[in-house]
Amino acid sequence: MINMSEEKKIRISKSLIKLILAAAKDIYPDEFVALLGGRKNLINEIIILPFISSGFGGILKTDVLPIGIKVRGTAHSHPTECLEPSDQDLEVFSRFGDVHIIVAYPFDENSWKCYDRNGKVLEVELVEE
């Protein structure tokens, strides 16, 4: 018998988190912005689109998103230690999928959180792939 809570639990690839943290660290002090992809309950893809970034925010050029790409959520960085979503973050969360990752300075393995489209912290399982 399948446990429904296990079936719906969000799993995220460890290598994806490492990639997002590295990209954020590389572009610091500007913000890194990307979309997330994957299948079923596994988030394991990053969708890089052209974006404009500064230390105050980032804007994705979503008009160049290829047709047929399933967007599961977003990933972006904060150049401070704050991992909480801003009002602008929450507005973006409501438009793009159900899983949203924020990484923050100093961009180490403890410098990230995952949220749902309403800004509620999601419990996720990190998996090797």
The pLDDT tens digits for 107-129 are: 999 999 999 999 999 999 999 98
54-73 confidence digits (pLDDT tens): 555 666 656 656 677 788 99
Say if 32 falls within a structural domain: yes
Say if 4 falls within a structural domain: no
Say if 102 falls within a structural domain: yes
Residue 77's domain comprises 10-61+69-123
- What are the CA-CA distances from residue 2 to residues 9, 21, 91, 118, 125 (Å)? 12, 34, 34, 27, 17
Domain containing residue 52: CATH number: 3.40.140.10
Say if 3 falls within a structural domain: no
**pTM, two decimal places:** 0.86
Say if 42 falls within a structural domain: yes
